[in-house]
Every structure is written in C-alpha cells, then in structure tokens.
Amino acid sequence: MARLELSNLHAKVAEDDGEKILDGVDLEVFSGEIHALMGPNGSGKSTTAKVIAGHPAYEVTDGEVLLHLEEGDFGEDFEIAEDKRTWNLLELEPNERAALGIFLGFQYPAEIEGVTMTNFLRTALNAKLEEREELFEDDDAEDEAEEEDVGYETSPMEGNVDEGEVGVAEFQQLLQEKMEQLDMDSKFAQRYLNAGFSGGEKKQNEVLQAAILEPSIAVLDEIDSGLDIDRLQDVSKGINALRDEQGTGVLQITHYQRILDYVEPDHVHVMLDGKIAESGGPELAEKLEDEGYDWVREQVYETA
C-alpha cells in the first residue's frame, strides 16, 4: 500500500520575491482512499497539486513530500528493496515521480499538436516502466545491467529496440479496452493529444491516461470543472474505477460538492491561506455546500 505524505509543506512562486502560496500543508493519502481537497480560490489547492508533481514554477522552501511504498505495490513480481521504500519526491524529476506512481490530472490539459494520443501514451507507459526499473535497480548491479542492455540491443532476437516493454499491438488493445470503459469514441486514439478537444473531452482524456498509467496516487485538479452532467458521470465512473480496480489513492481538488455525489470521498479537507484548515468526512463537504467557507475562516482565526 502506497502512502503520500505532505508535511509542513511551504512553497512559493519560483522567482525573486515570489509570492508565498503554501504555508505548512500537512496531508496524508493512502492508496485506495478518496480525498477531496476543497477551498476558496487562491487558497493553494492547485499549487499543492503542482508541487506534488514537480512543476518548475514553484519552489519548496520548507517541509517534505514523501512517498512510502510497500512490497507488492508494483505487482507481485516487482521487488522493492527495504532501503527503497521511502522516496523524497522533492529530489526527483517529474518523470521520475511518475515512474513511482504519482499522477497529476491537469485543470487545463496541454494541447499538443502533431503528437497522437496513442503515440504519446505508449511512450509514457513504456518510459514509466523503464524509469521504474532504473530507480529500483540494485545500485551494485547497475554496471552489470548496463552491459546486459548493450547486449540486448545487438541481439537479433530482440526485434525493434524502440518498441519498449509494451508493444504497439498490445498497447492498442489496452487503450481500446480502457476507452470503452470510459465510453470514449475510439477515434480519439488517433487524434492529436487534446488538440481541438472540448473541455469535457480533455477531462475524460485525463482519466483515461490515469487508467492506462495505473498510478498509486492520482491528484486530480478540478477534473469536474467544465463538465456537463453526462460527462461528469462518465468521469466519475472512471475515477471510481481507478480506486476500485487499481487501488489508486485519489486526491481530488474541487470547488463543488456536485462531483462528490458520484465520487464519494472518504475524507474531506478544506484549504485556507495555504494550509489545511479543517478535515472531516463527507458531511464536511455538504456543510461547505450549504454554508460556504466563511465559518471555516472564522473558526480558524478565532482559535488562532
């Protein structure tokens, strides 16, 4: 079981005199759990998500982001050595964090012209598997393994070395399956990544990518914004499937109670001025929906 742990996390915009945004965030997400992170605009929700994934626009000034893993988190055949069970994510590149099972669903997914969904996702999946191997490789065995790699490349039995662990045909099948589950039109597979997609299609595509990459922890930044009710249900179904079928832990950032009717959270957190101000169960979200954030603010500053 994986556990994402944010402790005393402070971050600012990465420039001279950059604005301080996170002011001591403490949060823990286990795989298999669904957390909702709510709060008014500008409270630091999106920044939290981006810092977890390693966005270069933010600089962490204090605190930690740790990922704790257990044997079996990457399948039965994947051995996780004891000294490689806790990772300081802040020391890792975004692609290395992805390899360890972190996924960020973007509020505004990039539109990438000229790169098909299929090509991108297969590249990402293979890169993730390859990077993971490297991260967990026994340090002593590294040199040996490299020699072996060279041997593979020249072996006529290996076929195309660019192929990666998941071949084209295998990937096509996987993609098609996941698209069907999400009720997505198969024509999206050959379209350029998010290019010309509607707002809803982009969000659906984020969930699809999570389904393919099978993250341990998925941080979904306002996945519900800009969705009509039908699409909201499709997307919600996808998020529930991540948890139920893959055991993914979900940290869902949202403004609205609406999606929580479909994706029932185990925990709800309210963020205010760069900190978690209040945590509770699903009933907290309902209270926020009815009463807004003012009472949280009052409560925090009265006790302070």
Partner 1 sequence: MSTQVHANLTREQVEQISADLDEPEWLTETRVEALEALDDLDMPDVIRTPGRDWTNLHALDFETLVDPLNAAEDKDRVSDEGIEVLEWSEALAEHGDLVEEHFASVVDPEENYLTALSTALFSAGTVIYVPEGVDAEDVKIRTQMNSRSLFNYTLVVTEESSSVTILERQSTGDDVEGERYYSGIVEVVAGENSRVQYGALQNLDEETYNYTLKRGHADTYATVDWIEGNIGSRLTKSSVETYLKGDSSETKTVGAFFGHDDQHIDIAARVWHQGEHTTADLVTRGVLDDQARSVYEGVQDVGTDAWDTSSYQRENTLMLSDESEADASPKLIINNHDTEASHSATVGQVDAQDLFYMTSRGVHPQVAKNMLVEGFFVPVLDEVDVDELRDDLEELVAERLRE
The yes or no reply on residue 225 touching partner 1 (CB under 8 A) is no
- Cβ 289 to partner 1 shortest distance, Å: 31
What's the rounded Cα separation, in Å, for the pair 49 and 35? 13
Q: Between 73 and 131, name the residue whose CB sits nearer to partner 1.
A: 131
Residues 118-157 that bind partner 1 (CB under 8 A): 119-121, 123-125, 127-128, 131
- Amino acid (one-letter) located at 45: K
Nearest Cα residue to 61 out of 107, 19, 9: 9
Smallest distance, partner 1 to C-beta of residue 101, A:
10
**253 is a contact residue toward partner 1 (CB under 8 A):** no
In whole angstroms, what is the distance from residue 227 CA to residue 259 CA?
10
Which whole-number Å values give the CA distances from 25 to 56, 185, 291, in the listed order? 19, 40, 24
Residues between 161 and 220 with contacts to partner 1, criterion CB under 8 A = 192, 209, 213
| Closer residue to partner 1 (CB): 209 or 236 | 209
User: Is 110 one of the binding residues for partner 1 (CB under 8 A)?
Assistant: yes
| Residue 141 CB, nearest approach to partner 1 (Å) | 22
Tell me how far CA of residue 177 lies from CA of 19, 25, 282, in angstroms. Answer: 44, 38, 32
Residues 230, 242: contact at Cβ < 8 Å? Answer: no
Helices 117-136, 168-181: crossing angle, 10 deg rounding? 110
Residue 55 sits in the site that holds partner 1 (CB under 8 A): yes
Least distance from partner 1 to the Cβ atom of residue 95, Å: 5
Using CB under 8 A as the criterion, which residues of the chain lie in contact with partner 1 when the complex forms?
Answer: 53-57, 93-95, 97-99, 103-104, 106, 109-110, 112-115, 119-121, 123-125, 127-128, 131, 192, 209, 213
